[in-house]
Chains A and B, each alone.
Chain A
Amino acid sequence: MLEIRGLDAFYGEAQALHAVDITVGEGEVVTLVGRNGAGKTTLLRSIMGLHRDVRGSVTLAGKDLTRTPAHQRARLGLGWVQDDRGIYASLNVEENLTLPPVTHVDSAWSLRQVYDAFPVLADRRRAPGTTLSGGEQQMLAVARVLRTGARVLLLDEPSEGLAPVIVQRIRDIVLEVKQRGSTVLLVEQNVAFAASVADRHYVLAEGTVAADLDNAEFTARQGELLEYLGM
């Protein structure tokens, strides 16, 4: 579904990613784990077309996106949830939800479905987006890309800074999204969270893919990984 081949990314003279190869199959949930500064966010931003100083290719469902601007990548089915959640203060909750255009009608959640799944968003629909709690904002950010019908969700650390009970809720959402057939590429530092939702894992270190593990291997080597991640 999503294929990244030989991706190099640069910030001026500095190279942040070195020949990264990643494949995410249709309906798969794949995580990218790695320390801070390993290049995880740069990778997602490069996939989304927001970081332009790159070489290599990004292909979505067979279509080469290398020259495609960010808004068209979104329209082709990439749904980005950025690490700070990206909720608009000047838009209310419902406007936050309806800002991105629906791109894939067959897989798009209706507003009704979103509100049924997240009643708190329905209750606060007229409130400015940033008056929600951190967990609610995360739900809003995920619901916003679900409403577009995005075929591949790019989630940047959805569990970061959230209370365990909320992380649990986010996990349920990711599993539900997976059940509905969406594809997810998840950046995560929370190894337990990653192991509980994903099929496969890429370990990113200093801008290169250090390991490509299935979930059984990943779970077996959890202790080693935690140590490696410095947690």
Chain B
Amino acid sequence: MNEILQYTVQGLAAGSFYALAALGLAIIFGVLGVVNFAHGACYMLGAVTAAVLLDLVGMNFWVALLVVPVLMFVFGVLLERLLVSRLTALDPLYNFLLTFGLSLLLVDLVKRQYGVSGLPYTRPEILTGQLSVGDVRLPTYQVFVLVFSLLVCLGVWLLMTRTRIGMIVRASTEKSELTRALGVDVSRWVTPVFGFGIALAGLAGVLAAPFRAITADMGSSFIIILFAVVVIGGLGSIVGAVVAGFLVGLVEAFGQAYAPTLSQIVIFVLMAVVILIRPAGLFGREENA
């Protein structure tokens, strides 16, 4: 019983990274129609930036949690303005190639500057150790990551459902052309939405920094799982991205615990089963598939 609870929390904590990053990926895809292949690299960049800022200016984790997403937002805005926007009118394949190339470039730039061995990051004192819940002991950091991510997801959900910006994002995700024809200037929201999506990937990176090995390649396997998450949740579905993120985290944790050799395969088996039963994903709509 204890064991199951521990794996559950571990899985949900790992799922938090997927959920946050997939949320960004889903929002970007919804509004821009761009599948951001560089999302894994942006996650990596978030973690690396946190580590570098700790090393250079001694910026602590709590400040990084705020500052790094802002920096990543600016990075996303520049990326969209300078590169992505030039290709959105063309076949989506061009932005696919652009972001794929960008991810290779970012990974190699980080490798060149910081090597391949990984950057150190120390957890803040307060998040080390374990929490006791009854007679179950859970790693404090995992509980923190889970609660923090849930709060961020809740915040994004409120933004999407309770504000006019959220309504416009939902509308243009579903019917981009009609939304413009109804007098909504969708293009005004494209750049901030892209920046916001990148910021979410960066935030996932900062959260992962004290938890995972910070290397240039940390985003490469991450992005593959992230695509599985998005397919399971339903491409373009915001709720789907979050639910599938946590689900994949759980599957991965239990897979590692009970069938270590199969743990990666299990995720893709889950993806295949979902596609067989619901081709548009758990929360996708058929017409969007």
Contact = CB atoms under 8 A, between A and B. Distances in A.
A and B from one complex: yes
Interface of A: 48-50, 69-71, 73-75, 80, 82, 86, 88-91, 95, 98-101, 103, 144-145, 148
B78 interface: no
Given A50-B177, A99-B179, A90 B184 contact: no
Q: Which A-B residue pairs are the 6 nearest by beta carbons?
A: A74-B183, A100-B182, A70-B180, A86-B178, A90-B170, A71-B180
A88 B182 contact: no
B167 interface: yes
A61 B173 CA distance: 32
10 contacts: A71-B181, A80-B181, A88-B171, A90-B170, A91-B174, A95-B167, A100-B182, A100-B183, A148-B182, A148-B183
A71 B188 CA distance: 11
A70, A101, A144 — most chain B CB neighbours (10 Å): A70
A71 B175 contact: no
B146 interface: no
A168 to B, nearest CB: 27
Contacts of A70: 177, 180-181
Max chain A Cβ within 10 angstroms of own Cβ: one of B167, B180, B182: B182
B184 A88 contact: no
B174 A48 contact: no
B111 interface: no
Given A88-B170, A90-B170, A91-B167, A80 B175 contact: no
Contacts of B34: none
A75 B167 contact: no
Contacts of B185: 71
Interface in B15-69: none
A50 B176 CA distance: 11
A71 B174 contact: no
Contacts, number: 62
B180 A86 contact: no
A173 to B, nearest CB: 18
A88 B174 contact: yes
B138 interface: no
A145 B170 CA distance: 19
Interface string B151-170: 00000000000000001101
A50 B181 contact: yes
B184 A89 contact: no
B192 to A, nearest CB: 17
A50 B186 CA distance: 14
B167 to A, nearest CB: 5
A71 B187 CA distance: 10
Contacts of B167: 91, 95, 98-99
Given A89-B285, A95-B167, A74 B173 contact: no
Contacts of A101: 183-184
B90 to A, nearest CB: 14
A75 B185 CA distance: 10
Nearest to B179: A99
A146 to B, nearest CB: 12
Contacts of A82: 178, 181
A75 B177 CA distance: 15
B181 A90 contact: no
A74 B181 CA distance: 6
A87 to B, nearest CB: 9
Contacts of B180: 50, 69-71, 74
Most buried by B among A48, A75, A88, A103: A88
A109 to B, nearest CB: 15
Given A49-B181, A74-B183, 17 more contacts: A50-B177, A71-B182, A71-B186, A80-B178, A82-B178, A86-B178, A88-B170, A90-B174, A99-B168, A99-B171, A99-B184, A100-B182, A100-B183, A101-B183, A103-B183, A144-B182, A148-B183
Contacts of B179: 99
A82 B171 CA distance: 15
